[in-house]
Structure 1
Amino acid sequence: MAILEYYAFEAGAHSTDDAKHNYRILARKSFRDFIYQSCGYDPANAVPSLWQPFHDRASLLHNTVPEGYFGIFHAIHDLFITLGQNGIHTDQSFVPDISVGMAWSKHWLSISGDELYGARIKYDHDYPSCYAQAKSNPQEPWAYPEMALGAFKKWFREDYIRGGKLTGYLSLQVKKKDLPAPFANAALTALGLSANAPQIEQRKRIA
């Protein structure tokens, strides 16, 4: 690059138009590569590596929920995207839809959801091979009647996220050492919860 720059601009009579042209092309490419690297974008791979686990799950689960029903993973995709846009990406160590599904199932039973909205059903749910959970494929989570989707969205927003269940889930993952505390706290910040929730701290090892 330095040699090309010399012949393009500093070689006086030896400077050539071809050298200037080639230098500008290389300079633009270097700047473009710098921007791509800063953004985590790989032009040879349309899906950045940090987004790949979520992308693989979304692709694998496309159209797997029976018509007329919704699955938890699909219903909370905005959570995955919000976290990812803030640099907090999901993988096999951070699968919030499991926690959400368990909490919603408990709530469903408490309100007699089958009587209110119709019976929930099981469906096949596979994890991508890059997930440890794939060893027990297929999973059989619940799918819920679409009539209950509005109620789920409200419960998810008011009860799970703002009501403390998400904070509890993250705290448990940190306690189990599945997640680092800074990751958990960054998730709370991304969702606007840090002001009302205590900072999650990593347990110190006792010597």
Structure 2
Amino acid sequence: MSLVNQGNLGLFSITESKNNDLGMGVLSDGTPYLTNRGLAKICGIEPSTTLRLLQKWDEEQNKPRGRKILELLKAQGYSAPNLFIEANGIHGSFYAIPDAVCMAILEYYSFEAEQANAEIAKTNYRILARSSFKLYVYDQCNYNPNQKIDDSWQMFHERLLLNDNIPINYFSIFKELSAVIVNMIRTGCKIDDTTVPDISVGQIWSRYWTQNKLDEKYGERFKFPHTYPDTFRQSAGGQYDAWVYPTDALGVFRRWLYETYFMDKFPKYLNTKVTSGALVAHDATRLLDTLQKPALVAQKSSEKKDDNK
């Protein structure tokens, strides 16, 4: 099992999976993890039970259950003060529960706790103990530990952390495109200061907003500071101002993004990246297929509902 240094700051998820309805992934330092819901599921208990352990560990470790779990943690050489790592993902921060903690808690609910679903915990413990927790998560997430984390992940993550303070009642184009950028990196597109897709999306959406007078329906947009990391050439110009939009218009933006931008504008944008060498043609085609599917599925679903009327 990997030993986790809780003092590490700025860890982020570089790959995720929900196979078997288990939230799991790998952090940027190679640490495999489960989410709180994933841990609760393999233990056969409610998420609120594991969440209390995570959030109230200072208190829980002095109770019978906590003392036994602490004993199991020490047996694995785990001595960090917390049971989780507060990591960053494309949707914000979350609790990443490292392998040693997951196995200690699973072992407790398999063999120590008296609970109705103990057999669920025992079965899962045998599966994970047989292959090792780390290898199981790596396999489910298609993660190669020998592959160096691409600079694109680091540059994207730095920019994400610098621009995570958007007012809750507004949305930014960059944050909304986070999942898109992740897909671009996964398909081999190099993300750096020459590949900034939110600029292209932002300019075209801004024109759409103005032409359709959406401020009259959803409220005024306004300029909000946007900062580029030092690794971006754009940082030489200091802080920029970028439009943020009322969240009431978020549904309209997402529909426009999938039905208009991805279908018509994005292929042209990707073609410039293929020409520049930032992306190969095959990967560009695969990326387009990935991003266009949600809109097509939604459309088919809508048509099915119409047929059933």
What TM bracket, shorter-length normalisation? 0.5 to 0.7
2:280 is equivalent to residue 183 of structure 1:
yes
Q: In structure 1, the residue corresponding to 2:245 is in which secondary structure? A: strand
Q: Name the CA distance, whole Å, in 1 between partners of 2:219 and 2:154.
A: 35
Q: In structure 2, the residue corresponding to 1:123 is in which secondary structure? A: strand
Q: Which residue of 2 aligns with 1:18?
A: none
Query: What's the CA shift for 1:90?
Result: 1.3
Gaps of 5+ in 2: 1-143, 292-309
Match of 1:49 among 139, 151, 157: 151
Q: Name the CA distance, whole Å, in 2 between partners of 1:187 and 1:95.
A: 16
2:163 is equivalent to residue 61 of structure 1:
yes
Higher relative contact order (CA 8 A, sep 6+): 1
Q: In structure 2, the residue corresponding to 1:192 is in which secondary structure? A: helix
Once the two structures are superposed, the pairs formed by residues 96-175 of structure 1 within 5 Å of their partners are 96-162=197-263, 164-172=264-272
Question: Is contact 1:114-1:120 (8 Å) kept?
Answer: yes
Change (3 A) 1:108 1:91: same
Q: Which residue of 1 aligns with 2:86?
A: none
Q: Which residue of 1 aligns with 2:75?
A: none
Moved over 6 A (4+): none
Q: Name the CA distance, whole Å, in 2 between partners of 1:169 and 1:81.
A: 16
TM-score by length of 1: 0.65
Q: Name the CA distance, whole Å, in 1 between partners of 2:287 and 2:270.
A: 13
Q: Name the CA distance, whole Å, in 1 between partners of 2:247 and 2:158.
A: 24
Q: Name the CA distance, whole Å, in 2 between partners of 1:133 and 1:92.
A: 7
Aligned length: 150
TM-score by length of 2: 0.45
Query: What's the CA shift for 1:185?
Result: 5.1
Q: Name the CA distance, whole Å, in 2 between partners of 1:167 and 1:193.
A: 13
Bigger strand share: 2
Match of 2:176 among 45, 57, 75: 75
RMSD: 2.5
Deviations 1:182-204 (A, max 9, x none): 4365233223179xxxxxxxxxx
Q: Name the CA distance, whole Å, in 2 between partners of 1:37 and 1:79.
A: 25
Letter in 1 for 2:163: L
Query: What's the CA shift for 1:165?
Result: 0.4
Change (3 A) 1:181 1:128: closer
Q: Name the CA distance, whole Å, in 1 between partners of 2:290 and 2:152.
A: 24
Query: What's the CA shift for 1:99?
Result: 0.1
Question: Is contact 1:73-1:97 (8 Å) kept?
Answer: yes
Q: Name the CA distance, whole Å, in 2 between partners of 1:49 and 1:181.
A: 13
Largest Rg, 1 or 2: 1
Question: Is contact 2:187-2:286 (8 Å) kept?
Answer: no
Q: Name the CA distance, whole Å, in 1 between partners of 2:221 and 2:241.
A: 12
